[in-house]
Structure 1
Amino acid sequence: MTFLGYSFYKTKEGFIGYKVPKERVDRLRQKIREITNKNWSVAMEERIRKLNQLLRGWTQYYRLTSMQWLVGNLDGWVRRRLRAVRWKEWKKTSTKYKNLVKLGTSPKEAWQHANSRKGYWRIAKSWILNKTLTNQYWKEQGFIGFLDYYLVVKVDT
């Protein structure tokens, strides 16, 4: 049963629990896909601003549910999409190389990965981008992830 965007279930103790319906999660994923579309030419600051608005509103609305597992999965997925967008933004091999070196990768490894023929989505999961485009990097860019919003909301309530 769904009411006002919440699904209800009965716990082992006989209480009523709240959860986010699958359809709402699918709709959220679709909105995130639109915002993080690699072909949408918009500045990363604007993209991050829109993502932050969406994530803040969504976590505020569903704060009554226990969705830490869902939030953790979505957080990693969103960051991977952002890494793919950033990789495409860098476009040229020389730009990829310079940025990887600037972010602390050795020149040899940076050159190898900058010349990679792998697709954006695949390279976004590579260890090189996980090492350079870290959670701290995205915080410095202004992105506040699902988990951060969720934990703040849980502490406040």
Structure 2
Amino acid sequence: CKSKRSAGRTLRNIIPFIEDKLFLKVNREKTNVSHVSKIKFLGHTFYRSHGKGRLRAHPTSIRKMKQRLKQLTSRNKGWGENERKKELNHYVRGWVNYFKMADIKSLLRNIDRWYRRRLRMCIWKQWKRIRTKGKMLIKLGLNKWKAWEYANTRKSYWHTANSFILKRTITIHRLRQAGYTSLLDYYLKVRT
């Protein structure tokens, strides 16, 4: 509708049609007239781009998704790698499939960076001992001296997960090989 008054008139005319002709019940509390950008519908929100209506994930849905990923990648979960991988992949695929019609490509690119950092943190925590960390870093292609220096770091798991060394050794490619599903990769796969 072009105006709020016009939208109100349309609402008054369409409610009797929905209830009397289609025999559906209209929830009067949830039914209202508002701007398209203020509406939340099944976790989606709407916006206009070049004169067309478009979908995106609502900020509440994004926040809930990040909270769930945070729970699944919690260092204190006590899961083995296979169980964590299975739960994460299941959740990522479900979320992306639900929101695949929305414009979320750039959002997923940003969340993927954060998600990979969470995964690196889990892996770093899983290695536990200094000796194991050093051996694994050497195995991943780091020179011996640098690997042992970094294995002895006293920085927090979260801080270490964002370091140049872990980004260089536990790469996107290696995470894919290990079986972790990237949100953006899966979204691009589903959209094609």
TM norm structure 1? 0.95
Unaligned runs of 5+ in 1: none
2:47 corresponds to 1:9 = yes
1:109 matched to 2:146? The reply is yes
The runs of at least 4 aligned residues of structure 1 exceeding 6 Å deviation read: none
Q: 1:29 aligns with which of 66, 72, 89?
A: 66
Q: Could you list the per-position Cα deviations for residues 80-122 of structure 1 after superposition, in whole angstroms to 9, with x for gaps in the alignment?
A: 0010011111111111001100111000100110010100000
- In structure 2, how many angstroms separate the alpha carbons of the residues matched to 1:14 and 1:145? 32
Distance 1:99 1:120 in 2: 16
* Letter paired with 1:25: I
What do you get for the CA RMSD once the two structures are aligned? Answer: 0.9
Unpaired stretches in structure 2, ≥5 consecutive residues: 1-38
Q: Deviations over 1:35-64 (max 9, x none)?
A: 000011101111111111111111111111
User: What percentage of aligned pairs have identical amino acids?
Assistant: 38
- Structure with bigger gyration radius: 2
Q: Is the 8 A contact 1:45 1:142 kept in 2?
A: no
Partners of 1:117 and 1:4 in 2: CA distance: 45
TM-score, structure 2 length as denominator?
0.78
Select the residue among 28, 44, 56 that pairs with 2:81.
44
Q: CA deviation at 1:137?
A: 1.2
Measured in 2, the distance between the counterparts of 1:34 and 1:108 equals: 35
Give the paired residue count.
154
